[in-house]
Chain A
Amino acid sequence: MKARVTVSLKPGVLDPQGRAIHHALEGLGFAQVSDVRVGKLIELEVADGTTEAQVAEMARKLLANTVIENFRVDIG
């Protein structure tokens, strides 16, 4: 089965990549964009029965740096 960990920057943390992408979108004429934040999607193939808590532990120990990042686990 699959588990998905979505890692995103915490609100308020400066995202220079997001800013550069926003700037490029503006350059393409997409004036309706007011902010861009870049995150990561990590897909794990895990053994059946793996719990959300176990995947959350992986996220806390390695997949996310909780100083600056939040994460969300979706399983199944």
Chain B
Amino acid sequence: MKAAVVVFPGSNCDRDLMVALELITGKAPIALWHDDNDLPEDIDVITLPGGFSHGDYLRSGAIAARAPIMREVVAAAGRGTPVLGICNGFQVLTEAGLLPGVLMRNAGLDFICRDVRLEVVNADTPFTQAYRPGEHVSLPVAHHDGNFQADTQTLDRLEQQGQVAFRYAEDVNGSARNIAGILNERRNVLGLMPHPERMVEPAHGGTDGRRMFESLLAILA
């Protein structure tokens, strides 16, 4: 499995993501720069890391979503390539129109940095098939703008079509229906606020994030 990590000015979890991908897939991912115009043809999965791309100016993820490389990411997603956006990567995916809704300022206005309990809502996706449906896992969050909001029809549709991948087990940031991660209709694009790459070896305090990368590996290897 060959993975790519898209690096924007201000990304700061790109290195963590590359280490986790190499640890679990056995193959070093390639880094793509936001200004690149080409995506190598043999890429099996594209990942967008956390951070503060472009300083969160205008809106979190707004400027990164219009970067040249994102045209290639949108095209690859349309071809069915799995695309995973974590934290700021999730914000970029909503701003790019690959996922519905928006991530607003946390309801309590605080930056939240701690481990949270999550329910795996849909375990029938390329990203989650190594989890059990309904299982509770623990992953860290570290965000200021993680408050997922969409209109009622969109939220109903996400739930009815199995596009909610993860839900917070308790209210964390004010997100509508406690949504922590969503999929596109085709289920090849996942955006989530928690950081699976920060829970992949026992020294991290847990390994619940591992199975996201193992899920991808099982499908793409």
Contacts and interface: CB of A to CB of B under 8 A. Distances in A.
B67 to A, nearest CB: 12
Q: How large is the interface on A (under 10, 10 to 19, 20 to 34, 35 or more residues)?
A: 10 to 19
Nearest to A68: B102
Contacts of A61: 66
B104 A20 contact: no
A16 B107 contact: yes
B58 A62 contact: yes
Given A67-B150, A68-B104, A68-B149, A16 B62 contact: no
A10 B158 CA distance: 22
A14 B95 CA distance: 19
A36 interface: no
B220 to A, nearest CB: 32
Contacts of B59: 65
Nearest to A61: B66
B106 interface: yes
**Residues of A contacting B: mostly:** helix
Nearest to B61: A65
Interface residues of B, number: 19
A2 B63 CA distance: 22
A14 B103 CA distance: 12
Contacts of B102: 65, 67-68
A13 interface: yes
Interface string B53-70: 000001100110010000
A17 B150 contact: no
B109 interface: yes
Nearest to A10: B151
A8 B67 CA distance: 24
A14 B66 contact: no
Contacts of A73: none
Given A16-B105, A16-B106, A65 B95 contact: yes
Interface of B: 58-59, 62-63, 66, 95, 100-102, 104-109, 147, 149-150, 174
Given A14-B104, A16-B107, 13 more contacts: A13-B104, A16-B105, A16-B106, A16-B147, A17-B109, A61-B66, A62-B58, A65-B59, A65-B95, A65-B102, A67-B102, A67-B150, A68-B104
22 contacts: A13-B104, A13-B149, A14-B107, A14-B149, A16-B105, A16-B108, A16-B109, A16-B147, A16-B174, A17-B105, A17-B109, A61-B66, A62-B58, A62-B62, A62-B66, A65-B95, A65-B102, A67-B101, A67-B150, A68-B102, A68-B104, A68-B149
